[in-house]
């Protein structure tokens, strides 16, 4: 049983770590603001809770476990809000997301944002 929990926690931690790395790569390489914000959002909202959940499985039932659970809930509540706020503010500011047919014409014009 504890082997199962250890294995599950290992899977969660590795998945969270992998998603953090891909989120970082996406932040640097994505062509448009909205796709970058999505990459950052994935790191915040999926990778961080996965890491926290993996850590949670390693702990015994105690007050610390309750605190980590509360941190998990707060992270799940605040990070998508921040991502949404950034994206909405940009949209209100006038920047439009890069769509596939725009990308082709932009690629032909050899311009970059």
Q: Contact positions toward other proteins, by CB under 8 A?
A: 74, 77-78, 81, 84-85, 88-89, 92
- The helix/strand/coil state of 28 is helix
DSSP one-letter string for 41-90: HHIIIIIHHHHHHHHHHHS-SSHHHHHHHHHHHHHHHHHHHHHHHHHHHH
Which is nearer to other proteins, 36 or 106 (by Cβ)? Answer: 36
Which is nearer to other proteins, 95 or 106 (by Cβ)? Answer: 95
- Closest separation in Å from C-beta 81 to other proteins: 4
- Closest separation in Å from C-beta 58 to other proteins: 17
Which is nearer to other proteins, 29 or 84 (by Cβ)? Answer: 84
- Closest separation in Å from C-beta 42 to other proteins: 18
**Contact between residue 68 and residue 111 where contact means Cβ atoms under 8 Å apart:** no
Q: How far apart are CA 100 and CA 69, in angstroms?
A: 41
Which is nearer to other proteins, 67 or 107 (by Cβ)? Answer: 67
- Closest separation in Å from C-beta 88 to other proteins: 6
Place of tokens 């509540």: 77
Joined tokens for residue 31? 């062509």
């Amino acid at each position: 049983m504890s082997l199962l929990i250890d294995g599950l926690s290992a899977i969660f931690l590795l998945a969270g770590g992998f998603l953090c790395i891909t989120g970082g790569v996406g932040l640097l390489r994505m062509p448009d603001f909205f796709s970058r914000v999505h990459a950052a959002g994935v790191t915040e909202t999926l990778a961080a809770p996965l890491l926290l959940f993996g850590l949670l499985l390693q702990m015994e039932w105690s007050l610390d476990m309750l605190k980590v659970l509360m941190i998990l809930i707060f992270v799940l509540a605040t990070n998508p809000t921040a991502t949404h706020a950034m994206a909405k503010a940009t949209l209100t500011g006038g920047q439009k997301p890069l769509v596939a047919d725009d990308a082709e014409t932009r690629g032909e014009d050899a311009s970059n944002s």
